A and B are shown apart, each in its own frame.
Chain A
Amino acid sequence: GQQLNQSPQSMFIQEGEDVSMNCTSSSIFNTWLWYKQDPGEGPVLLIALYKAGELTSNGRLTAQFGITRKDSFLNISASIPSDVGIYFCAGQPSSSGSARQLTFGSGTQLTVLP
């Protein structure tokens, strides 16, 4: 099946620092989504991307849909303690046709140190 390689697996940063994480695949994706998940809860949608090259912001978060359609990245600026959590990329592969299921990366665990 489709696989998404998400990196890094974990990050420890100081409060106020910027963060960058990315997701790559050997396959082309039509849609990229970024989610944040807190322990014991479901993923919360942060940003959705639909076009190659698209750059979208949501507050301190910015995500881009790679031009090759095989990658995406998420930036968080000026991190704060509540940014702690697991960030997942997810995509809808172009090879799946009208199928609607998302393929998820394995997540980036973010820890923000005071």
Chain B
Amino acid sequence: EVKLLESGGGLVQPGGSMRLSCAASGFTFTDFYMYWIRQPAGKAPEWLGFIRNKANGYTTEYNPSVKGRFTISRDNTQNMLYLQMNTLRAEDTATYYCAREAAISVYVMDDWGQGASVTVSS
């Protein structure tokens, strides 16, 4: 059974930094692209970026809306996915989800975590 569990959310001041983690289990982690998506309360989900699998060199792509402030990384020895968020703003307040790419289609996510809440406020 695929499991994705985010952690590391909470309250952070504007301008601050936060790192979210996602513990993955139940599948061969290195075989899959991994994604971060966020969703402000009552709004549409927003794709933040992904990190490719081993076969594609673990390279990353980002939404221009967060490129340069957010960094996605992975620890393949621990089956962990990370999202480093810097220079946080109030508009970054959202629930953050990690997700695994579907085996049957690129850029589609077939397993999601429950989400981690991030609040940016003074």
A and B bound? no
Mark B residues whose CB is within 8 Å of A: none
